[in-house]
Amino acid sequence: MNEMTHTEMHFYEPRLGHGLPHDPFNAIVGPRPIGWISSRGADGGVNLAPYSFFNGFNYTPPIVGFASIGYKDTVRNVQQTREFVWNLATRPLAEQMNASCAAVPPEVNEFELAGLTQAPSRLVAPPRVAESPVAFECRLTQSFQLQGADGSPVDTWMVLGEVVAVHIDRALLKDGVYDTAAARPILRGGGPADYFEIGPERRFRMWRPR
């Protein structure tokens, strides 16, 4: 009989604090895809910002979503125009992505700030990042403020959008199959500055049970 090994667990209740040098939540729920969102406000102003709480939530129709901690320019723009574009953040574009998260006034165009090129979208008004190999044009489906278990409002807004158009660099299609690793996507990790890159050497496959 194998003896059960004793594991010492660090336990905490988030409402009382974690007691660690840095909140581990973001590191545990990670790495996370980056929501690099371009939007256009009702006044025509363009915004580009990365969000580390982002993911895909449905196949048909395809729906993606991001959460904004604080009511930021992106949320306001999307609520005004009901459109946004998700741009894939890759290792070659990491520095530009990071530059686009600078806290600047609404009138500042982060495309220009980060040295990026605006490319026209097909079905929505916000531009794409021309240098990004993949982009999803999205139309807003839902936008709402999060709340805690006690029903009290949280200073975070969830934005969900249906993907109505997709742009993919053909170089990433291998025999018609999208090659995730070839795009070199970057993911947000934990700590104050950790990111990860997806590479082919970490790939493994599992087929679903029949």
**Over the stretch 163-198, which tens digit does the pLDDT of each residue have?**
999 999 999 999 999 999 999 999 999 888 999 999
3-state secondary structure the chain: CCCCCCCCCCCCCHHHCCCCCCCCHHHHCCCEECEEEEEECCCCCEEEEEECCEEEEECCCCEEEEEEECCCHHHHHHHHHCEEEEECCEHHHHHHHHHCCCCCCCCCCHHHHHCCCEECCCCCCCCEECCCCEEEEEEEEEEEEEECCCCCEEEEEEEEEEEEEEEECHHHEECCEECCHHHCEEEECCCCCCEEECCHHHCCCCCCCC
148 pLDDT tier (thresholds 50, 70, 90): very high
Residue 2 has pLDDT above 80, yes or no: no
pLDDT at 4: 59
The fraction of the chain above a pLDDT of 90, given in percent, is 84
**Over the stretch 122-136, which tens digit does the pLDDT of each residue have?**
999 999 999 999 999
**Over the stretch 50-68, which tens digit does the pLDDT of each residue have?**
999 999 999 999 999 999 9
> What is the rounded average pLDDT for all residues in the chain?
94
Report whether 30 contacts 190 (CB < 8 A): yes
Report whether 34 contacts 125 (CB < 8 A): no
How many Cα atoms sit within 13 Å of 54 on the Cβ side? 20
pLDDT at 125: 98
Structural domains in the chain, sorted by start: 30-197 (2.30.110.10)
25 pLDDT tier (thresholds 50, 70, 90): confident
* Alpha carbon distance 173, 161 (integer Å): 25
23 pLDDT tier (thresholds 50, 70, 90): confident
Mean pLDDT in residue range 195-206: 91
